[in-house]
Structure 1
Amino acid sequence: MKKRHFGPKNLKACKRCFQRKIKCVRNGDDPCSYCQKRNYHCEKRSLVEVYYTVDASERPTVSSQKAFEVLTNSIHFFEFVYRALQDSTSKDLGSTKLHELNINESFVDYSFLKRDSSVQVLEPSAFPDRETAFALFEQAKRTIAFDTQVMLHESTARFISEVYEQGCIVDISNHQVRIEVLRLFALFAIGRLHTSGDVVPEEYPGLKFFRIALSLMNDFYDAPSISYIECLVLIILYLVGLNKLNHAYIHSGTALRLSMLLRLDKPQVKGGVKLSELTKERRRRLWCSVKNLDFYLSWCLGCSSMIKSQSPIDYPNDNIYENELATGFFIRERIKLTELKDQILTSVLDPDNSHVSRFFESFNERSQAINTAVSRLSHVFDTALFHKVLFGLVFRLNECIILATIPEFLQELKPEKLKLLPARKPLNLSKTCVMAAISNLRIYECLFRSNNISIFGFVDTNFLFLSSIVLLLARYLTVERVEFQQVEKSWQDCMLLFDELTKIGNLVANEYLNKIVHLRDLLSILEDHIKPMEDLSLTHNQHPDHQNHEFSKQELVHFNIVETLISWNL
């Protein structure tokens, strides 16, 4: 805590001289010369016990680096909020009931994470039947293939047909065939992971396919290919779905390095090799996908990304390539949202450039892009698929809005330790923060009720967890009855979702539910010490702050679009 010196060191000075910080000249107990000259009463001072005092103009806050770490992912943010509130009371919080799972993780065999010696022969019995294979392929395609580059759609489907026409007898000693078979089993694993159905006790969905995929991996570093990097992306996505982030992060680093060896980050190819338009677009989309994963996993684990978001990038286009590649809109928007999130997080490291208003224009641009997609692309995909990929973008845009506005939101809480950044002129953005949290909750709820989201989807559950923290804090901040009812209902719906996810075996949801219950119990103890907001209007037609800036929630059109799409879907 910073301290500042004040006043002359001579404690014998009278009060007037001390206050004016002038030399006090006196003879024994007689009045000082200053007071005598002006005929003032010369009042002695009592002994000052503390010579230094806290500079009240500088409120203690966490460091910029700490604020950056807090905002990188929802677990870090939860720990910051929980510890700050916990330090505000000396009461014994007691024990909290832990929710039990339908799957006991302590008995799960994790040996599948370790790569054994590469398999040399693959028996036909390792393949699922033809009908199941195509069903898993289509499920994986719908889940990941429209906002992440993992394959050429028609070519992969054709390869599956050829494999089954040959009785599932494949020559994996052939380099190219081995990679394509690896891709198939990785797709089967992801398709099974994201297929609704009963959870097999003590085993993850798709695990048997994933083990085979790992056994097919060779270190093709001498002659890396786009196909092999796409397979690595599939491996990463399966591990992320299981919340095995350390292992996913290692594979992500490998994919990133191989991408650089192939110069995917460069528009031009070495040696002036001419590439087809399909290959060029495939390279662009794959680089965006690898870059997205690197940033995401770095944020989750609190590590530094190996690349800079500001580095020039050749964005994918919207063209459709002969049924091999769908529109690149969703991949392009996802990397732009990743870059925006990185700018928001990086801004807290620079106190002079961390004001949320600098991101308003970007929020509006991304919101308008989502609006454009609804009018231009909704007829291209079936409704369920379109909602899934579109809501994936809205998840990330709302997350950016929450991260940019959460410091202003925390200013409304009384404990000083909850302050992330130095106090600034208030923008009254707490409303926007809560609106974004409610929007993500409603999206998750809609996808879950329509069986359009994986119960093992770590990424999507992470968005739900961040929303739950904001809503829980908002419960103790709102004072207006109407707004409290809206926040309270959203909070209850959020807890119901976590409870249902836990009952069907979602390990990540179980962890998040236990954390949020602990935070709820702590907040109930501290309720009398938390200052509520005076006004928290959550309607869409009100301006956050007419006096301070020109940003209006009406400009964020995606809020209304989401409500409309959800109403259609339900």
Structure 2
Amino acid sequence: MEGQRAPSRPQDPIRIAKRTNSSRRTFGKKRPVACQRCHARKIKCVGGNPCSSCTSAGCEMQCIYVERDRKVRVDESYLEQLIRDSDELGRHKLGESNNVITGVQAPVGLQTTTSTPDPPKDADMRNPTMKYKAWFQPHHEPDLSIFLNDVTCTAFATRLCQRLAGDEKSVAHIPRMQCADEPILNSFTHTGMPWPNLPRARLLVNTALGHSNPPFHLTLRKRTLDHLDTIYQNTAFNNPVLVCKYSALFALGEICSVSGGGTSGGIIPGIDYYTKAISLIPRLPERPSMAHIEALVILSLYSQFLNRWNFAYTTIGTALRLALTAGLNHNIPPEQCPDPIARENRVRLWWTIYTFDRFWSLKLGLPLLINASDIHVDLPSNLGINGYEDEFIDASYQVALIDLAKVSGKIMQNIYNWRTFDQSFVQREQRTLTELKEWLQRLPSQFQLQTRSHNPKFTVFIHLQFNYCVILAIRPILLSLIDHTRENPGREILQSPAVIALSEACIHSARHTMSLCADEWTKGSLPVYGYAFAQYIFTSSLALIVATFLPGGSSDDLEHVNTSLEMLSCLVANGSMVAHDLLVHLQRVQTCLQQSNQPSQFSSGSPHQTPPAQCRMSRPHLPSDRPQQPLLTAHTIPDQLPISAVTELQPPAQSDTTPYQPVMQDFLAQSVMGIDFLDSSDFSEFLTDSWLNAPPLWDGNYP
């Protein structure tokens, strides 16, 4: 309206500062004044510090000048501009200080009124799937609710269902229910689990260390077995630290011994030894021994087979703190520890703790427990001494995994973090993906996937973990693209080369993961109670569902999802607690996909039905979009499966195992400061509205 001033738009603080500097008036040189001594004596002061009069009188310390503040005239418009600039700078600093805003919603009947600040205006700096307040799920105690983070795959599945349903409030988060909680563990507390006989004890320890190596170093192999013999020879079964360590090894050995089929009575293998071990750790030592730290690391690893993720995270945190008190993050001088094998054991155990910290934190969406700047110990190395091969494996295995764990930690810090960044979210995406690409280029040749020969389990595992990191780094943007296709169907942002590069990299990693997991399934090497493979299957399935809405998606992607449902169902039927919760989430996502009005490119097909409890570890069908060579020979194919059922299981050729195809290479080659395709005004609209105002993962009516 005429006579009414239009509201001012938010301005860049840098431009404000420049404008303020350029608008300053120059009022000329101030008139000289006399120093206080000359003024009091009413004599002429020629200036200077000290002046000549004070110098000649020897009173240099009394030569003090008073700064006079003159009254000057300025334009009113100049003062108004200064006030506006000051207010704008104040609002900008307030937005930076409120980079973490926490809010808790109480269940119905206990609602409290809390003020939620408006989202800051630098939303393009944030992960588009993260809100401006923390997410909590109601629990038995209102003041100790369950915390959720968007990095977790189950939270992502809930967000995907909310996008597909078009109504966030109608889809509540499904809590993690299937785990060995305290009532289950208490039933084994007083059983008085005896030590196994010596041959079985040696077998369990060998199995535990054989399955944990080469990715993770838990303890010295030969010395642990020799000490076990000594314990049985001397019947020294009363040392609580050794009882804890060996009970943890027995538990891990039992659960790794199960190759297929559930156990009698539904009892998870090793849980009795596990319960015995954790009953011995409440009293932490003032000065820990290596055996105590090793026991905590082993218990953290086993806890995930029971779906006890919080306990695993807490236990590895305790092990890390004890390791810090023992100085494992530093190199110990040879004169302090002359035994080179003992020194190398310190190094490798520390890096196992570090790797667990990075991987567990990324899985749970919880903070990293130690900064890289606080680590001053060397990487694992090969020792040219007698007895080295009896205790360790080639150090290159653990070094490759440590390198990937470092990148995993940066995904947590740079992609799923509440703090304010100088770079935009997409620029941080590019940096993270560039580091993943460099890791893949540094990977030794013996760890590259082979298409016409057997791939060791470690090689498969490390490539699955790599694909997992790629998917977690990219999927926040891909889920935002679903909102874009619904709200702006006529826009052409999906044809951007950078968007296509990101979506293709994520989709390719998901397909590659499904191929590798199906191959492991066929060979019978996929563990029944394992946590990692179930997680990889679930994560890739979610990415493939999102792919049906994006360029590069294929009708086979939904068939891959059905394949993963079949594998997870069989794992559940055989007693896997980890797979149970993931299966429930994936089934709900599939149901939401069938009921969705989203413009998916393909039909979702019929709902998947959970197979009966007698499901066994047979090979599911995997769709193919190109001819492949059979991985198994005729005499290795199970009798109940036709030859055609296994001809599609070979992993992609080596040139296809990387998600960094030509378009992605171009994206990564761009200057970081030149990445602006997601920061443009036409794209930032959907990137920052619906997700920032989304409700929590739960509603007040959820029990």
TM-score, structure 2 as length reference: 0.58
Letter in 1 for 2:510: A
Residue in structure 1 matching 2:161, options 50, 70, 82: 82
| Counterpart selection for 1:442 from 515, 526, 531 | 515
- Alpha-carbon distance change, 8 to 259 in structure 1, aligned in 2, over 3 angstroms: farther
The yes-or-no answer on 1:135 pairing with 2:214 is no
Partner residue, 1:335 = 402
In structure 2, the residue corresponding to 1:9 is in which secondary structure? coil
How far apart are 1:230 and its partner, in Å?
Answer: 0.7
Counterpart pick for 1:179 among 237, 241, 245 = 241
1:9 and 2:79 aligned: no
Letter in 2 for 1:390: T
**Which whole-Å CA distance do the structure 2 matches of 1:394 and 1:218 have between them?**
37
Tell me which amino acid in the other structure corresponds to 1:496. E
1:493-543 Cα offsets, whole Å, 9 max, x none, are 2122112112212122121111111111112222444579xxx99993952
State how far apart, in whole Å, the 2-side matches of 1:347 and 1:414 are. 23
Aligned partner of 1:387 among 443, 456, 463: 456
**1:306–1:414 Cα change, 3 Å:** closer
Q: Distance in 1 between matches of 2:248 and 2:503?
A: 43
- Say if 1:71 and 1:345, in contact at 8 Å, map to a contact too: no
Q: Equivalent residue of 1:544, what SS?
A: helix
| Mapping of residues 473-488 of structure 1, within 5 Å | 473-477=546-550, 484-488=554-558
Match of 1:400 in 2: 469
CA distance in 1, matches of 2:403, 2:487: 30
Shift in CA distance, 7/189, structure 1 to aligned 2, threshold 3 Å: farther
Which consecutive residues of structure 2, in runs of 5 or more, have no partner in the other structure?
7-120, 136-147, 603-624, 627-651, 671-703
Q: Tell me by how many angstroms 1:387 deviates.
A: 1.9
Query: What is aligned with 1:224?
Result: 288
Do the aligned residues in 2 keep the contact of 1:458 with 1:508 (CA within 8 Å)? yes
Q: Percent identical across equivalent pairs?
A: 20
The number of aligned residues is 469
Give the one of 280, 287, 303 matched to 1:239. Answer: 303
Contact 1:107-1:202 within 8 A present in 2 as well: no
* Alignment of structure 1 residues 101-140 onto 2, 5 Å: 109-111=184-186, 126-140=194-208
Equivalent pair of 2:153/2:539 in contact (CA under 8 Å): yes
> Residues 338-359 of structure 1: CA distance to partner in whole angstroms, max 9, x if unpaired?
2212212322343615323223
Alignment of 1:508 onto 2:503: no
After superposition, the Cα gap between the structure-2 partners of 1:10 and 1:474, relative to the gap in structure 1 and judged at 3 Å, is closer
**Secondary structure at the residue paired with 1:412?**
helix
Structure 2 CA distance for partners of 1:67 and 1:7, relative to 1, 3 Å: farther
Deviation (angstroms), 1:66: 7.2
Deviations 1:49-82 (A, max 9, x none): xxxxxxx998995557679975532123222222
- Tell me the equivalent position of 1:22: none
Q: 8 Å contact 2:204–2:254 — kept in the other structure? A: yes
1:93/1:404 Cα in 2 relative to 1: closer, same or farther (>3 Å)? closer
Aligned 8 A contact 1:427 1:545 in 2 = no
Give SS of 2:283's match.
coil
CA displacement, residues 232-284 of structure 1 (integer Å, 9 cap, x when unaligned): 11111111221112222332222111101101112246x96244322222111
Shift of 1:131: 3.8
Q: Aligned equivalents of 1:104 and 1:239: distance in 2?
A: 10
- Structure 1 contact 140–190 (Cα < 8 Å) conserved: yes
- State how far apart, in whole Å, the 1-side matches of 2:321 and 2:546 are: 41
Give every structure 1 segment of 4 or more consecutive aligned residues whose post-TM-superposition deviation is greater than 6 Å: 56-60, 64-69, 103-108, 416-419, 422-425, 536-539
2:569 to 494, 499, 507: 499
Amino acid at match of 1:387: P
Q: Deviations over 1:69-102 (max 9, x none)?
A: 7553212322222233334489x899x9xxxx9x
Deviations 1:418-438 (A, max 9, x none): 99xx99983422111011112
List runs of 5+ in structure 1 lacking aligned partners. 1-5, 12-55, 552-570
- Range with bigger deviation, 488-497 or 346-355: 346-355
Query: Aligned with 2:248: secondary structure?
Result: helix
- Structure 1's 72 and 474: CA in aligned 2 closer, same or farther, altered over 3 A? same
User: How far apart in 2 are the matches of 1:7 and 1:512?
Assistant: 61
Question: Aligned pair in 2 of structure 1 residues 550, 10: CA closer, same or farther (>3 Å)?
Answer: closer
- Give 2:341's aligned residue: 278
Paired with 1:455 and 1:219, the residues of 2 have a C-alpha distance of 33
Match of 2:440 in 1: 367
The 1:450/1:545 distance shift into structure 2, 3 A limit, reads closer
My pick for the range that moved more, 318-327 or 209-218, is 209-218
Alignment CA distance shift 1:221-1:206 (3 Å): same
Alignment match, 2:662: 543
Q: Could you tell me whether the CA contact under 8 Å between 1:104 and 1:201 is conserved in 2? A: no
Equivalence map 1:157-236=2 (5 Å): 157-164=225-232, 166=233, 170-173=235-238, 175=239, 178-195=240-257, 196-197=259-260, 198-217=262-281, 219=283, 221-236=285-300
For residues 592 and 582 of structure 2, the distance between their equivalents in structure 1, rounded to whole angstroms, comes to 15
Query: Please, which moves more after superposition, 327-336 or 239-248?
Result: 327-336
- For residues 546 and 499 of structure 2, the distance between their equivalents in structure 1, rounded to whole angstroms, comes to 19
Given the superposition, is the C-alpha separation of residues 312 and 110 from structure 1 closer, same or farther in structure 2, using an over 3 Å criterion?
Answer: closer
Q: Report the RMSD for the aligned CA atoms in angstroms.
A: 4.3
Are positions 1:288 and 2:288 aligned together?
no
Task: Report if aligned partners of 1:133, 1:188 keep a CA contact under 8 Å in 2.
Answer: yes
Cα distance 1:415–1:524, how it changes in 2: closer, same or farther (>3 A)? farther
- Alignment partner, residue 457 of structure 1: 530
Whole-Å separation in 2 of the counterparts to 1:416 and 1:262? 55
Deviations 1:431-457 (A, max 9, x none): 110111122222222223323232212
Q: Is the 8 A contact 1:194 1:454 kept in 2?
A: yes
